[in-house]
Every structure is written in structure tokens, then in C-alpha cells.
Amino acid sequence: MAAQPSLCNGPPPMEPQEKNGADPRAPTSYTDLTSTLPLEEGWAIRLRKYQGFWFPQQILPGSMAMQQNFKARPDDVFVLSHPKSGTTWLKALTYAIVTRTKYPFDRHPLLSQNPHECVPLMDRSYSTGQDSEIEAMPSPRILNSHLPYSLLPHSIKSLDCQLIYVCRDPKDVLVSRWFFNNRMRSEGMEPIPFTKAFEMFCEGNSPYGPLWEHVLEYWEESQRRPDKVLFLKYEEMLEEPMRIVKRLAQFVGCPFTPEEEKEGVVEEVVKLCSFDKMKSLEVNISGKLRPEFVTNDAFFRKGGAGDWRNHMDPEMARKLDRVTEQKLEGSGLTLNAVGVEAAATINADVQAQV
């Protein structure tokens, strides 16, 4: 009998992506529908509100097509997040874990490819008519989406696929989004003031927002099905990267063997995916995911927790914390856990570990 493909053997390599063409097509039947939805024009990209969440207008038709047409496979693993919460890092870690026996760490694909190339964002593939690439990926696949849980394609839920979700202190998500937004501006567009971004974010009018509803949907699902939905916090990844890497490996069915642990393979994964390592790679300095897009350094800005301190006055921080507390009340989840002092310690620890 032929051996079943296992994620522990590493997902087969993806076909190289076509980089020299502009986004070829958006699915037109959904584009008409999108243009009738509520519009938010305050960010560098236009947003449309669909089923309670604000989607980038360019991506939404693809997300709708994906919702209708995507066929999951039982051994698919999904990396899920509200943007700017640690997606790039989580993709790198998951990919490094499942490919650890396939590639030596000094010749690993993550040294020459951005994590977004190793683990594709399905939403974008569908929005550019390149969904056949996703279909063509051999099993087992690691795929990424920013869709909220309520909008995930039905087959992902009915097949009980493994879902890994990462969230982050909303204050740092906002700061990260603001910087990224200003990098994405088209020529001649003024950067948006932080205060404006703050107001829109608190109102929930931000890409894939409201953030709290996005996080809560996955949190609740992780409480219902803990063996199928792994819920992670960016700050705990910073604090205890080794523990999280071991947890991730176990969750996707490729636990580290005692020999691997003794040989320092967990440390190797943490090191390969560390912020400083990733940020220093040529592909992540000057590379681009698409010709018309920002250079990959935009995904590796500062890293760490607590940068909100440099952009928000205490009153703004308190206001955003209050919104978060109110939204999460009764859920058992907290997102404001990292105070300034703790953030400084965490960052120092991370530097020491890598």
C-alpha cells in the first residue's frame, strides 16, 4: 500500500509563483456585489463591509469566491489571523517545523523565500484568479487566510481541519497596521495621521476588523474544539518560543522526538524564524511578493511587544484597552496583558535567546 503523505515529511515544495504579471483577474460576478456594500475610504486601501467585517475591496470578491468554492482536504493545516498579529512569524514557524527533516537548517527554503511564499494567503490567490495554484498544491498543504471563523469555507469546518490562530495586543496591531498602511500608499497619497487610524480602528473600521469579533470567533471555537483549534498569542510566542514551537509541532502531528530535543532542533527552528534572522535575509530586505507591492522588509518592521508606547499617549492606550475589555467581557480571554515593563523584559529575553 502506498504510504500516506504525512505533514511530518514536510509539504511538497510549491511551484514557483509567476511574479512578472500584475494581478490578472478578480472574479467578476462577486465584484458587482462588492460595489454595493458599505465603503470605508480612510485607509490606503478601500474597505467594504461584508457580513460584519471590513474587507479590502480588492480582495473581497476573491474571498467570496473562496468561501463558495474552496475544497479543503482532511490533512490541510490552516494558519489564521487578523492581519498584523504575527502571521508572518507563525507561517515561518509552522513551515519550519513540518519541513525540518526535509531541509538542513543552513539550506532551508526560508533562507531564500519569504514566509508568505512558503505558506500562501489563499484569500489573495483567489482574488487574483490564481486559485488553481492552491488546488495544484500536493497534500499535505499549509494554507493561510485572514477570514474570520464565521466566513471560513464550509469544507474546512466539515472536514475538521487543524486550525492555528494567532492574536496580539490590539494596541500593537494598530501601530503595526498604521505603519504598513503608510507603506502601502499609492503615489501622491498623504500618510494618514495616527489619530485618524486610531479612531477608525476603535470603531472596528479597519482591514478585517472589528479585531475583537475576529479574535473572539476563533477563541470561542478553540474553547469548543481545543484539539482542532490552537489559539496562540503573539506575546506568549515572544515569551516562550521554545514551548510554543513544541506545542505547534505536537498540534500538527509532528512532535519533536527526544533525540531531536537533545540535538537542539527546537532551538534551530526558533533561530531560523527569529525576527533578527528573518529581517537580515536578502529576500526579506529587497524581495517582493508581487512587482507592484511593497518590498518584504515591510513585514519585518520592529517586532516585539509594546511599541504602542511610542505612538499612543496614555489616554489613547487606556481608551483602546477599555474597548478591548468591554468587547471581551465574559469570554475568559484577555489581550491587554502586556504592560510596558513586561514588554521591555520580554524583548530583552527574546534577544538573549537567539
Stretch binding ligand PAP (CB under 6 A), from 17-25, 132-140, 156-164, 294-302: 294-302
Provide the edge-to-edge strand list for the sheet that holds 162-167.
142-145, 77-81, 162-167, 229-233
In sequence order, the β-bridge partners of residue 230 are 164
Binding mask 33-72 for ligand PAP (x = CB under 6 A): ----------------------------------------
Stretch binding ligand PAP (CB under 6 A), from 16-24, 34-42, 134-142, 270-278: 270-278
CB of 167 to ligand PAP, least distance (A): 10
State the Cα–Cα distance between residues 352 and 342, nearest whole angstrom.
15
Let me know if 146 is a catalytic residue.
Answer: yes
Question: Quick check: 235 and 244 in contact, CB under 8 A?
Answer: no
- State which of residues 34, 57, 63, 81 lies at the interface with ligand PAP (CB under 6 A): 81
CB of 276 to ligand PAP, least distance (A): 8
- 180 vs 256, which CB is nearer to ligand PAP? 180
- State which of residues 83, 148, 170, 209 lies at the interface with ligand PAP (CB under 6 A): 83
Is 86 a binding residue for ligand PAP by CB under 6 A? The answer is yes
CB of 185 to ligand PAP, least distance (A): 15
Is 204 a binding residue for ligand PAP by CB under 6 A? The answer is no
Q: Which of 108, 146, 214, 311 is an active site residue? A: 146
Residues at the site binding ligand PAP, with contacts judged by CB under 6 A: 81, 83-89, 92, 172, 176, 179, 273-275, 278, 299-303, 307
